[in-house]
Every structure is written in C-alpha cells, then in structure tokens.
Amino acid sequence: MTKGMAQNLDQKIANSSAYRKSREENSQYIFDNPQLFPELVYYALNSKKKDHYKACWILELVLEKKPHLLVPFLSIFCDNLPAITNLGALRSLSKICLFLTKSISLSPNQENKITESCLDWLILENVKVATKAYSIRTLFELGKNQDWIYPELKRIVEDDYTKYSAAYKAVTREILKKIK
C-alpha cells in the first residue's frame, strides 16, 4: 500500500456520510483495493481518530458481505471493543459482532470479549436502541453454546422492557420466544 492510497482512504472516510450510498461507495472502494482493509480496521478501532465512527460504518458494509475478512484481525477487534464509546460506532460494531457470531468460528476468548461488550451495551442507559437490538441478537447466538447467557439475557431484557421503544420491545419478544 502506498502512502497516497492510505491518505486517499483517510480522505474518503473523512468525507463519508451516514447515507447508505456514501457508505456503499466507500465499501466498494475497499473491495476494489483490498490491501486497504487492514488500514480500515485500524482506523475504525482507533477511537482517538476523529472520524473513526465513519470508518466503522464502512467496515460494517464490507463485513456484511465478507465477514471472513476480519479473521486475521479478530483479536484486535475483540480487544478494542470496550474502548469504543461513540454511539455511531457502537451501532456498526454491534452489527459486526452479530455477523461474526453467525459466520465465523470464534475462540472462547473472542466469544467472551464479544459477550462482555454486548452485555455492557445492553445495560448502559445512553446506548441507542439499534445497538441494544444487535447486542440482544448477538447474545442469542452466543447463548447457543454458553448456557449462562440466556438466563442473564432474559433477566436484562425483561427488566428493561418498558424503558425503550417499540423496536426494542419487538426484538425482546422475538428473542424471548426463541429462548423459552
């Protein structure tokens, strides 16, 4: 990768927006320049970078199509989850966690780190409903292999049921039906 390509990626991230078209164009740029994928991962996970949340948006769309690309970076991804606090980034990261639990073989340590992050996002008051919904779905997937998750998940979502929107309640009802 040349310095110019990395600068171009930085520029693309800085100029991206939440609009789907912008995110799709930038994810296509990564597919067209796969050597930039590691740079995108590091940018997304570096909460000191001003636009790291925008990189998370792009990373989400890349991994929606090709979650296996993250395999060489799984430890770095999982280790950095607790450090991310930007609400826009959390939505994308929680969705990426769901992709991973459905399609990638994770180590017990990686599963534990994703579980801890999803539980944290679920119980924190200021986290948006979309992040909570993806966390619930991710924990459901992880609970298929870890017996203790379903009782804990059930307790949290039942306790919080009246606090959040209709969307949260819908996901809660759906998952509770599956785990009963």
pLDDT for residue 6: 63
What letter represents residue 31's amino acid?
A: F
62 by Cβ neighbours in 10 Å (0-12 / 13-18 / 19+) ranks as buried
pLDDT digits (tens, 9 = 90+) for 9-57: 889 998 898 888 999 999 999 999 999 999 999 999 999 999 999 999 9
Give the tens place of pLDDT for each residue, 116-151.
Answer: 999 999 999 899 999 999 999 999 999 999 999 999
Q: pLDDT by residue (tens digit) across 66-91?
A: 999 999 999 999 999 999 999 999 99
Band (pLDDT 50/70/90 cuts) for residue 162 is confident
Mean pLDDT of 51-65: 96
pLDDT band at 169 (very low <50, low <70, confident <90, very high): very high
pLDDT band at 96 (very low <50, low <70, confident <90, very high): very high
Q: What integer pLDDT is reported at residue 20 of this predicted model?
A: 87
